[in-house]
Chain A
Amino acid sequence: MPEFELLNEMEVEVLKELGNIGTGHAATSLSKMLNKYIEISVPEVRIINIANIHEEVYNEVVAGVLFGLEDLTGGNSGYLYIMIPKESADKLVRDMYGMDEVDEEMYGSAVMEAGNILGSAFCDASADFMDLIILPSPPNYAVDMATAIVDGIISQMAQKSDHLILFETTLNSESNIEIDLILLPEEDLFTNIMQILEGL
């Protein structure tokens, strides 16, 4: 497996563009759904070592949505993990329903829906941009510490790799909503991404 640290500036820019297109699509969909103007920041892209993940993501409680990613043959390509800090998730849910009081089930379904939109947009972007078709599984949802949600998945991948790609972006509506995305590519997907990046 190629080493993540070897990414040059150009390749990071390309990954950033992927994140940009993905979050762009997502912002448009969310904006339509919420009927609100939504601004996005240019995403930061970082390759992180799993040992340092606690320094890069929140140790606080987040609403997390986790997708398995499949390629066209049904093989596992990796995972997409969307983290919404609890405070941001509260605002998002409030915006989506237009009211303050929601029960747990409504809360979860709203966060999952937002996750679905983001996840699909991200996969669309990867198809548009890299000709790489990945399909998201139905969402898995949990409210817990950011690393606690994902460490089961990390353990699945850690046999082969010690690194993840973190896309960090902020979606701003009238209220500040922060959303972070982590792409955890399996070896094949990562190799594919790298080959495409090299071909550009």
Chain B
Amino acid sequence: MSSNIAFISTASARAIILSRNEILTGSYCSIKDLCAYEHCTQKCEIIAETKNHLCGNVQSSNVEVLEGELVAGIGEYKIGKNVLLKAMGLGSCVGVILYDPSTCLGGIAHVLLPGVSAEGKTKHAETAIKTMLEEMIRNGARRRKVCAKFAGGAQIFKHMNMEMLKIGDRNIKSVQDTLKEEGIDIVATDTGGNVGRSILFNTIDGSMIIKYSSGKAAWL
């Protein structure tokens, strides 16, 4: 059994191609919405190029193979190099990505609550970001190079009591404040709204892929 996560970057598009035993199991493509081949058919050149590379037919310098994926559960963070980082099913939670492009070391935190945790738990935005940053620096990230992207903080229910209404916004604010305090540049964000999101982060090129529960996707 061999499962692969490949990243392909061409002049026209970038895509993450997931496959298992040489069968395509999924893809995230930056031009999906513009693409004429709606469901990425056999005709797709990007998939063909990746496939040829993976099967060893034609080597392509555009294709890189990632070593796997790391998923941050609620209140967790994960760091890694040459991997796909994920935070799934974010509602009012915020997925925070820290990335050092000079070493390609990245981290993702699945933040549940705003503020600081007295017990050092990484459910809280400030604690999570600081703990993750420290661990990244210990693993070779250069502090001055680290930048951030984050997404989430939606409000799924239209009618909820006041406390619930605010939690997404409070999470976003807390993440912003912490990043500002740490002097980390915010490169891209996608927050609020009333639709759930899943976030993927490609540590090879530093792109954040947002998959909405409505089925749409965005590359930031």
Q: Are B164 and A148 in contact (CB under 8 A)?
A: no
Q: Are B112 and A155 in contact (CB under 8 A)?
A: yes
- Interface range on chain B: under 10, 10 to 19, 20 to 34, or 35 or more? 20 to 34
Q: Are B213 and A145 in contact (CB under 8 A)?
A: yes
| Given A152-B91, A156-B164; A144-B113 close (CB under 8 Å) | no
Assess whether A151 is interfacial by the CB under 8 Å rule: yes
In chain B between 144 and 168, which residues have their CB closer than 8 angstroms to a CB of chain A?
154-157, 159-160, 163-164, 167-168
In chain B between 53 and 97, which residues have their CB closer than 8 angstroms to a CB of chain A?
71, 73-76, 88-93
| Given A50-B75, A144-B195; A151-B157 close (CB under 8 Å) | no
Q: CA A140 – CA B159 in complex, angstroms? A: 8
The secondary-structure label for the interface of chain A is helix
Q: Are B156 and A155 in contact (CB under 8 A)?
A: no
Assess whether A147 is interfacial by the CB under 8 Å rule: yes
Which stretch in A4-12, A38-46, A54-62 binds the other chain? A54-62
Number of interface residues of A (CB under 8 A): 29
Q: Are A151 and B89 in contact (CB under 8 A)?
A: yes
Q: Who on chain B is nearest to A49 by CB?
A: B73
Assess whether A158 is interfacial by the CB under 8 Å rule: yes
Q: Which residues in B have their C-beta under 8 angstroms from that of A140?
A: 157, 159-160
Q: Are A61 and B112 in contact (CB under 8 A)?
A: no
Q: Are A147 and B88 in contact (CB under 8 A)?
A: yes
Assess whether B196 is interfacial by the CB under 8 Å rule: yes
Q: Are A51 and B91 in contact (CB under 8 A)?
A: no
Q: CA A57 – CA B151 in complex, angstroms? A: 22
User: B123 is contacted by which of A61, A66, A158 (Cβ under 8 Å)?
Assistant: A158
Q: Who on chain B is nearest to A149 by CB?
A: B156
- Chain B nearest Cβ from A149, distance in angstroms: 5
| Given A151-B74, A156-B163; A145-B89 close (CB under 8 Å) | yes
Q: Are B73 and A148 in contact (CB under 8 A)?
A: no
Q: Who on chain A is nearest to B122 by CB?
A: A51
Q: Are A54 and B73 in contact (CB under 8 A)?
A: yes
Assess whether A197 is interfacial by the CB under 8 Å rule: no
Assess whether A132 is interfacial by the CB under 8 Å rule: no
Chain A contacts to B: CB under 8 angstroms? 49-55, 59, 61, 66, 140, 142-156, 158-159, 162
23 contacts between A and B (CB under 8 A): A50-B75, A50-B123, A51-B74, A54-B74, A59-B88, A140-B159, A140-B160, A144-B91, A144-B195, A144-B213, A147-B74, A148-B89, A148-B90, A148-B91, A148-B156, A148-B213, A149-B157, A150-B91, A152-B92, A152-B160, A155-B113, A158-B74, A158-B123
Chain B contacts to A: CB under 8 angstroms? 71, 73-76, 88-93, 112-113, 123, 154-157, 159-160, 163-164, 167-168, 171, 195-198, 213
| 10 cross-chain pairs, A with B, having the tightest CB-CB distances, nearest first | A148-B196, A147-B89, A148-B91, A51-B73, A152-B92, A145-B89, A144-B196, A145-B196, A151-B91, A144-B213
